[in-house]
Structure 1
C-alpha cells in the first residue's frame, strides 16, 4: 500500500507572549484553563484514524470540532497514535470543549439580540403615558374633537371648539353652564327620591321632593291652600273692587319684596339684608333674579308654536279654576292677552344679568331723587320697613346696593311703561304659574300632551329641584357634599385658594396700577373667604330640621309642605343657622359663583362640581381650565365691586365704579377691550395657576386625544365651558373664548398659530425667526417643535405675554 502525503503542519500562530510557534497536528495535552473562543477554533485535527467504526466515530467528533479529515496510516502508526491519545488526552475533553463552544456561541447570539432590541427601541417613536380613567374618557367625549369642525382654531377658536359640542337637552338649554345645571338637577332629584343621602336630607325636604316629582292624583287639599294664600296676600283677579290703583307702584313694590324675602319667590329681583360692619347703617343688596330667566325661556317656547299659549291657559282653567265661580270672566280674557306683556317684562328683567359683569349702583334710602321718577329711595325704605317689620328697623342711613345699575333702570322703565294695576295682575299670574303648577296637575298634563322625549323628565326634575332649591339651598348643598369623599371635600376648595393666591401675586407685582387702588384691592382680596360646603352649626345633627322646621304634623301635599318650610325660614331668620345658610350659593343659570360684598365672601355653587367643569379623576388641565377658570372670572368681576366696599366704621361707598380695573394692568387690542372683560384676565390667572400648581405626574394627555398636549387640553376645556347657542341661527360658538385667546400669547404658542392668522394679527406679533417656525395644520395636532413667537400689541407696553402670563 502506497503511503499518503506527508503529515501536514498547521500555520504559524502567535502565542500569548507574541512569539511565533509551530503547532503540530496532534491534540494538545495542556491542562490550562480559561481557554478563549479563538483557541477553541484553533484546535488541530488528528492525522490518524482507526479503520472501521471507531474511525468513523472519531471522524464525527473531529468534524464537530471543525478539524480536517484524517489521512490513512499504517496499523503501527495507528496503534502508536491511540496509545499517545490515551496517555496524553484528558477524559471527556470533547464534551468540555463542545460545551464551551456552545456557551460562547450562545453569548454571541444573546449579545446580538440585545443590540437589536436596543436599536429598535431607540429608533421607534416613544409611547407617551395618557390618562385613561373614565373621567378622562368622558371629557374626551364631551369635547367632541373627533366631530367636524367649522373653523381654523387660529382664526376662530370658539367656533372650532364649540362645533364639537353635542347638547344633551337640546331645546331646553342654550349654554354649557345650563347643561351642567340640568345634570345637577337630575342628580339631586335621584338622590332625594332614592333617599340615599346618608341622613343629609331632612324628612320635610324629602317629602316635598316626592310630592313634586311623583304627582298625587288628588290635588284638592293643595289647591285649597293655594287659593287661600293668594287671597290673603292680595293676589286677586281683575275685579272692580280691587284696591290697586293705576299709580299704586308703592304697593306693588311691597308685594314684590314680600314675595322674595318671606316666600322665596324672586319674580323680579332678589334682595338680601347684609350687615356693613357699621353700627349706623345696614345694606340691602339687590340682585337680578335667576327665576326670571326660567319664566322667559318657558314662555318663549310656548309662543314659538301657534296656539300653544292659549292651550296653556286652558289647562289652568281646567285644572285650577275648575268649578271656581269666584274667578270673573274678565280674568280669563286677561290671561288670553297676557302673553306679549309677560314676555316684555321677563325679557327686560332677564337682560340685566346676561352680561354677567357687575356694574354696581348705590342708593341711600334717605336721599332725594335728582330727577322725576316713579321709583324713589323713600319708596324702597317704606317697603322694606313693612316687610321686615319690628324684626329689623330700617332707617334713612341704610343703603340699597344694586349689583347691576341697569336693574334699577329696568324697574323704573317698567313702572313707566305699564300701570301698577297691570303689573299687579301679571304678578298674580306669575305666582299661579309657579306655585300653582306644582299644586295641580298642570305640568303633568303638559308633559303628557307634548312628546318631549328625554326632555319631558328633565322638565319635571328641573322645575321641582328649582322649587326645592329656592327654599332648601343649604340642604341641597349638603346633599351634594355627601356624595364626595373626605379628601375631595378638603381638596376642591384648594383650587379656589390657589386662584386667589395667583390673583394677589399678579396684582401685587403690577407696575401699571395706581398704588392707592392696588393697596385697597389687595387688602380686601386677602380677607375674602370662600364658601362652598355648609359649615359651622349646619354640620350638627338635626340642624336642617331646626332650620326648616319639623314637619311631623304637616299634610303631605305639595303646597302645605311649601308653605310650612317658608314659615319656618321666617322664624329662623337672624339665627346662626340662618346666617350660615345664606352663605350658600343659589342656582343661577349665568353664574356658578357669587360675590357677597358686605361679608366679603365668594359663594360657590355645588352645582358647578359636574362634568365638564370638574372631574374627581381628571387632570390638572381639566380642572384649571374648567371650574378654576370660572372662579377666576368671578374674582376678576368682583374687583370692581370691591372698590365700593366701605371702610371700617363708615356706612357709605364711593359713587364712581371703576369699569376698567384690569385695563390698568392688561392691554387687549383696542377693538376688543369692551369684549374681553372679565374673560381675558380670568384666563390669564387660571393659566398661570395651572402652570404653577399642576401635578406633573397626573397632568397627562388624554387617551383618544394623545396628540394634544396637556396645555392644549387646558385651552380646549376653558373654551368648551363657555360655549353657547347663537340665536336665532342656532350656531354653536363662544365669542368670549375667541376674543380672549386672540389677545393671549401663550395660546398662540401652544397651538403653533402661524403669522397671518387672526390670533397673531390681534397680538401684533413679529415674524418668527428663521428655522424655528412650525408648519401649521388646521387640526392643530401636537408638534414637538415649539415656535419662537415674540412681539407686543401696537401702542401698548403692558400686554399679556408668553411665559408665566404675568402682566408686564
Structure 2
C-alpha cells in the first residue's frame, strides 16, 4: 500500500516519527501506522479526483510537523496542570529554542485579539527568516526522551520545582509589582496579559521532572491518551482545512485554526485531569446521575413538542437531534466503561480493535452531511466561559461530555437534594443540549426560518427553564436539614447562582452576573424581588 502513496520522503519519515512517539508497543505501532497511511492515501485519491487538487504532500508535511513539534509543548502544559492541580494563573511554556517565540506570539495574538488572519500566513511571516524552522529529528528525539526514558532520568530537587512569574522574577532580580511584569515581558516574548500568579516552565530539565512526577503518581496512561487525542484533533483539522475554507468566511477559518493551537488545548487538558483525578462514584450514584440527565433531555424534548409557532416537521427534527445526543461521563473511566452506552473515545483508545485515526475518518464522514463549516465554531464559542468546559457538546461525535470537574461542588453534590442537582449540573447539561440543536442542519432549515439559538442570554434562559421543569417532573419534596423554610425552588436557584454567577466584576450589574437569572420571573417570585428591580436584592 505504501508504494501507492505520493508524498515526500521527509513527510513519510515524520509520520513514522509521530507513530513511534504515540505507540511504544510493537503490536500497536504497525496497526496505527497502516491506519495513518491509509488515511493519507484516501486523501490523496480525493485530491486527484478534484478539479483543483490541493497539495496533499504539503498537507501531510504540515500534519507531521505539527504533531511532532507542537505536540510536546502542549503535553508539557497539560502535565503541569495535571501534576499540580489547576494553577491560579495560566501555564506558560518557555523553551530554550526558536519555537518558543513562534508559540508565544500565537498565544499572545489569540489572547489579545481573540483571532487574527489565517494562522498559516502568520506562521509563514514568523518563520520566513529562519529557513526550515521545524527540526523533525530533534522533535522525535525529545519525544523519545519524554515517553520512553523518564524512569532512568535523575533530577535535582530544586529543578523540579514549579515557579510562578512572581517567584521567577524575584530570582532573576526583577523588581516586584507592576515593574516585575513589565520586566518579565521585556525578558520573554509573553502575553501582555501576564500575571504574577501565572505558572512558568523555564527549562527542559524541569519539564521532564514534572512529567516524571506525574507519571510516578498516575502512570503513563493519562499522558499517552492525551497525546493521542491531541494528534487526532490536529490531523483532522489540518486535513479538512480545505473543506472548512469552502464553507466558512475568513474570520471563521481563523477561529478554527486558532482553536487547534490554543483554545482546544486549554479545554482538552481537562481530559488528562479527568483520568488522573477520577471521581469515585459507586454504581448507585452513577445510575441516579444518568437517570437525572435523561430526565433533563426528555423534558427538553417535551418542551420542544409543545411549541406552537414551529411546524411539526421542524419539532420532530429537533427532537430527533436531541434524542441522538449521548451523555458521556468522564469521571472514573474504568468504573463507567461497561455501563456507558457510548464508546468512550478518551478512555478506550489504547484497547479498542481499530486505530484511533479511523474514529476521525468515520466522524468526518458524518460531519460532511451537515450544512456548513459554522459547526466548527461551537467548541470555540463554548470555551469562552469556564462552566461551558465542564459540560460541553462535541459536535463531531454528537456527545455531551460531562467532565470530572463538573462532578464536584459547586455543580454536583453526591449527597445533595434533587433541587441541588438540577440547579447545578442539570442546568449545565441542559445548556449543552441546546448547543446540540444550534446551527441546525439543512433538513431543519428546509422546515422554515428558525434562526440561531446561540444569542446572548438565550441558552441560559432556556436551559434554566428546562432544568426547573425537569425538577418539577422528578417530584423532589426533600428539605435541607435546619433549612426547612427553603423550598425546592429556593434551593434550585441558589445552587444555580452559586455555580454560574461571579461577584468579581466592578459592579453588581457587570457581565459576571447570570443574565438569565436577572430576567427570570420564576427567580423574582421565589426570592421576592421588588417590582421593576434591575437586580434582585439576593445578590
Normalising by structure 2, what TM-score? 0.50
Structure 2 counterpart SS, 1:684: helix
Aligned to 2:421: 623
TM superposition shift of 1:639: 0.8
| Deviation of the 1:343 alpha carbon | 3.3
Q: How does 1:222-621 map to 2 (within 5 A)?
A: 232=17, 254=60, 257-258=63-64, 265=71, 313=95, 331=97, 334=98, 338-339=100-101, 341-349=102-110, 411=119, 414-415=122-123, 418-419=126-127, 425=133, 445=159, 447=161, 467=223, 470=226, 483-532=280-329, 534-535=336-337, 548=350, 571=355, 574=358, 590-597=388-395, 599-621=397-419
Query: Which residues in structure 2 correspond to 1:617-766 (within 5 Å)?
Result: 617-641=415-439, 643-644=440-441, 660-661=452-453, 674-696=455-477, 698=478, 700-701=479-480, 703=482, 708-723=486-501, 735=511, 737-759=513-535
Indicate how the Cα distance of structure 1 residues 300 and 691 shifts in structure 2: closer, same or farther if over 3 A, else same.
Answer: closer
- Offset from partner CA, 1:190-232 (integer Å, 9 cap, x none): xxxxxxxxxxxxxxxxxxxxxxxxxxxxxxxxxxxxxx99995
Query: Residue 485 and residue 299 in structure 1: after superposition, are their counterparts in 2 closer, same or farther (change >3 A)?
Result: closer
3-state SS of 1:512 partner: coil
Number of aligned pairs?
366
Which structure would you say has the larger RCO, counting Cα contacts within 8 Å and 6 or more residues apart?
1
Q: Is the 8 A contact 1:342 1:426 kept in 2?
A: no
Secondary structure of the residue that 2:400 maps to in structure 1? strand
SS of equivalent residue, structure 2 residue 452 = coil
Q: Cα deviations across residues 394-440 of structure 1 (Å, max 9, x unaligned)?
A: xxxxxxxxxxxx79x65356357544676984898999999978857
Answer yes or no: is the 8 Å Cα contact 2:299–2:470 preserved in 1.
yes
Give the structure with the larger helix fraction.
2
Give 5+ residue unaligned stretches, structure 2. Answer: 1-12, 19-53, 169-196, 200-206, 230-270, 364-378
Larger Cα-atom Rg: 1
The 1:518/1:737 distance shift into structure 2, 3 A limit, reads: farther
**Structure 1 residues 754 and 292, CA, compared in 2 at 3 Å: closer, same or farther?**
farther
Distance 1:434 1:455, change over 3 A: farther
Classify 1:612/1:258 alpha carbon distance in 2 versus 1 (closer, same or farther; 3 Å).
farther
Does the CA-based 8 Å contact 1:621-1:694 persist in structure 2?
Answer: no
Taking structure 1 as reference, are residues 427 and 421 closer, same or farther at Cα in structure 2, changes over 3 Å only? farther
The alignment yields a C-alpha RMSD, in angstroms, of 6.0
C-alpha change, 1:449 and 1:266, in structure 2 (3 Å) is closer
Uncovered stretches (5+) of structure 1, i.e. residues with no partner: 1-227, 234-247, 270-289, 304-308, 317-330, 355-405, 550-567, 580-584, 648-652, 663-673, 761-777, 781-808
Query: CA 1:469–1:596 in structure 2 vs 1: closer, same or farther (change >3 Å)?
Result: same
Give distance in 2, aligned partners of 1:537 and 1:425: 48
Deviations 1:77-111 (A, max 9, x none): xxxxxxxxxxxxxxxxxxxxxxxxxxxxxxxxxxx
Contact 2:419 2:492 in 1 (8 A): yes
Mapped to 2, the partners of 1:425 and 1:675 lie a distance apart of 42
2:161 is paired with a residue whose SS is helix
Shift of 1:345: 1.0
Shift of 1:501: 0.8
User: After superposition, what is the alpha-carbon deviation per residue over 1:466-524, rounded to whole angstroms, capped at 9, x for unaligned?
Assistant: 73551588998788778222211212111211111111111111123354432321222
1:229 to 1:605, Cα distance in 2 relative to 1, 3 A: same
